[in-house]
Chain A
Amino acid sequence: MIRLQQIEMAAFAGACLLAACPVGAAPAAVLLKNGVIHTQAARGTIDGGSVLIVAGRVTAIGRDLVAPAGAEVIDLKGRPVTPALFGGVGQMGVTEVEAEASTNDSTLKLGQMRPEFDLTYAFNPDSVPLAVSRVEGIGFALLAPGAEAGRKGGPGSSIIAGLGSVVRLDGRRPRAPVALAVTVGADAGPLAGESRAAAFMLLAQALEEARAAAPLAAGEQRLLTPAGRRVLKSFLLEQKPVVFEVDRAADIRTVVEFAAREKLKAVVHGGAEAWRLAPLLARAQVPVVLDPLDDLPEQFDQIGATLENAARLHAAGVTVVFSRRSASPHDARKLRQAAGNAVAHGLPWDAALAALTSAPAKVFRAAAEFGSIEAGRPANLVVWSGDPLEVSTLVDASWLDGRRQSLRSRQTELRDRYLAKLKAGAAR
């Protein structure tokens, strides 16, 4: 039936219904017309706008685009189009089931400081949470290692957890490592001799080792391997983001001052109390990656947590990026709901969308590929049934790297199997 419909539509006007358009193949050209295009770029939001995709790239955006001969034309009927969403900072592609160690590669627990730890070696493009998140409009995420104390006397991780990379939810190879994950604050205590103060001592020592022009003397106590020194040095030289896991306001201030002194490009991650230092963070141009749903003192470090965190930071001019505190790949799809809640608590709608698209793409240096809809960029975009931040809104169609994505996952398979049983009165 669907096949017939496709043929009819194609024969009719080179157009197809969203639900019936072919998936997976990359036709030479696709024109999405008559939508609300949230470009997250210079063009802003275009009502009654169109996007032309040719050979997988956005080639034009505007109001009166003409479909090239043979192009597939899709009438959006006023529906919104956004860049593909960010899935947060976490374990996308390296954790299948959190509680099952054999399926979880997220955290290095060697008891050594290994900034060179590259999690992309563990990235599994077939991981089910990828498809489950893709169906929800997520196109990219920052894969970053976790930090955890050792269990039962075993080694734990280090305050430098390792390298973070942007992963793409259509399963292509991750981008090259771009971020360094560092833990300070209360969670650093167990990784730094039971005092958060030692996190900065150790970090300063590691940076000194990385900067040392001459090789360290034999027998000199060192934290880093030669590879680790090279990695850390590259972060200093290239000003790549160092993502500090930190919540307490006083610790955030220390991070900002430490980063200025050491010439690091700092990003605050967690940031429950960041709003209290909003002017400082804005001046220092330190972005904050936060969970908009944080509003309880889960730890003493988060006593100032508030649902207005994002709104207050944004108002002060701080770049805000959204991420779930759980870091779980299973939880990534809840991020746009979290963004909607930030709007309900004072954040402008466009800023909330930015925190899910352009802001993370810029902060994690993937803006040439993700985060905006612009001519010349690969088509990574989503058509929504309604307001993308609304909980009742679903994805109608999505493209990643110019390819129409399937909206099926293991979960839709389960749904269809048991919906059929239920309809027969046989779900038992």
Chain B
Amino acid sequence: MRFSHTRAVQRFAALAVGAGLAAALAAAEPATPSADPYPSTYAASAAAPVLIRGATVLTGSGARLEDTDVLVADGKVAAVGQHLATPEGARIVEGKGRWVTPGLIDVHSHLGVYPSPAVSGNSDGNEATAPVTANVWAEHSVWPVDPGFDTALAGGITTLEILPGSANLIGGRSVILKNVAAVTYQAMKFPGAPQGLKMACGENPKRVYGAGRNMAPSTRMGNVAGYRAQWIEAQEYLRDLGAYQAKLKAGGKSAEDAKPPKRDLRLETLAGVLKGEIAVQMHCYRADEMAIMLDMAREFGFRIAAFHHAVEAYKIANLLAERGVCAAMWADWWGFKMEANDGIQENIALVDAAPQSCAIVHSDSEEGIQRLNQEAAKAAARGRAAGLDIPPERAIRWLTLNPARALGIDGRTGTLEPGKMADLVVWNRNPFSVYALADEVYIDGVLQFDRAHPPVLPRSDFMLGQPAAAGVAP
């Protein structure tokens, strides 16, 4: 079950009918918070249908279709096939020599929370004041003005998950955004997408707190003890909540005396994970630590959606695939700290090669997010050199379907199947080339980036009126 506005209304309604006690309901309010207090206000503007004709299409669902048309209508993929009829008023895009892919999805970005310029006033990605800050939501730090959103768009990014940083064992909730220009983050928020919970393994938490402040955790065993203590508290919280709800349900004096547990943002988040409403997105480099985390997830009964920065995922590719956990990886970033020391360029390809795998290319970088296609191309080439068969129609899944899966939005975007959001990119050639450029980027059928017709003024307010960007020589 996911947190969504509709679900929350349903849950609330069921409770009201079952209890039938207005007084009890009033008392319940503090403990049954709104599931969606900061709702998405994003709505794609109306746009004419788009017909892309005669392109090479990578569907994201595993197919490569030559000389194929893609029809977009009402913000959705309407059809993919040959010789599609042209609807009235449609924008026609000549696809000959071009490639069409689903919009790229980055599961790991700090755009907006660590924006450009990297100044202290806008440094809002790590609430590094305590090792557990499950109470914070990354969305409340997002600066929509970050010019990095625009450069990512030029690289074909249509959807991205913004996460808190990795200073903390439990860093806070993530948010999934559509990469559209907006004044508020709510107007970028992917409607109905679940939130994630950022957690971090390894060196960062123990360095920030142990080495940095002489407090727990200072070791990896301290890290694990730290997470476990939180899950135990969350279990207690759920028990208290359950007992309270049982009393309400019983009615009569029991219901009148029922006292809800005190609202606690931290425990609400952790309980959301244990209830399966929030998926864990876990920063974890080392294979052995990932295995520990998988055991911990079993111990407390929650799901890890993906390991991020999984530099050693190749060492446990079979284990990850069997457990249904995605690995989000870089193509070749390595060596900057001990837990990144065993990075290899074949990592993504090896993880992908395990049966039932879920390999993802991610960025964690305002530079990398601009060219996830090139990162995938490097990884695929290394995989092929190692004897693995990785055609473009497979590699594109690392940037589209698989990240959509990890984010729980694969029913809505990530492939070009009819009925899905028309999030797609028209590339000037095979996207797995260093020379490939996104010519056009559509989000929900709306042309958000058009290389042939760049905006006269920059989209980011920060870049507006900057003499340096305009090229005036001092």
Contact = CB atoms under 8 A, between A and B. Distances in A.
A418 B386 contact: no
Contacts of A300: 117, 119
Interface string B66-98: 000000000000000000000000000000000
A414 B344 contact: yes
Interface in B362-393: 366-367, 370-371, 374, 377-378, 380-382, 385-387
Contacts of B315: 418, 421, 427
Interface string A377-396: 00000000000011111100
8 contacts: A97-B337, A100-B337, A341-B434, A390-B434, A418-B317, A425-B318, A426-B318, A428-B319
Given A300-B117, A340-B434, A344-B434, A419 B350 contact: yes
Given A391-B374, A422-B350, A428-B322, 18 more contacts: A98-B335, A98-B336, A128-B335, A248-B468, A249-B474, A276-B472, A293-B367, A298-B116, A298-B117, A303-B468, A304-B466, A329-B335, A340-B435, A343-B434, A393-B381, A412-B344, A418-B314, A428-B319
Contacts of B434: 337, 340-341, 343-344, 389-391
A42 interface: no
B336 A97 contact: yes
Interface residues of B, number: 59
A277 B472 CA distance: 9
B346 interface: yes
Contact of B468 (A96, A97, A249, A295): A249
Interface string B389-423: 00000000000000000000000000000000000
A411 B332 CA distance: 11
A129 B335 contact: yes
Given A297-B116, A425-B318, A99 B337 contact: yes
B386 A419 contact: yes
Interface residues of A, number: 55
B338 A415 contact: no
Contacts of B317: 418, 422, 427
Nearest to B117: A297
Contacts of A304: 466, 468-469, 471
B335 A97 contact: yes
A329 B434 CA distance: 22
A95 to B, nearest CB: 9
A215 B315 CA distance: 63
B98 to A, nearest CB: 15
B341 interface: yes
A344 B435 contact: yes
B334 A277 contact: no
Central interface residue in A330, A333, A393, by most chain B CB within 10 Å: A330
Nearest to B384: A392
Contact of A303 (B335, B377, B466): B466
B231 interface: no
A276 B334 contact: no
Contacts of A275: 471
Contacts of B445: none
Central interface residue in A253, A302, A419, by most chain B CB within 10 Å: A419
B318 A422 contact: yes
A5 interface: no
A250 B474 CA distance: 6
Contacts of A394: 381-382, 385
B210 to A, nearest CB: 14
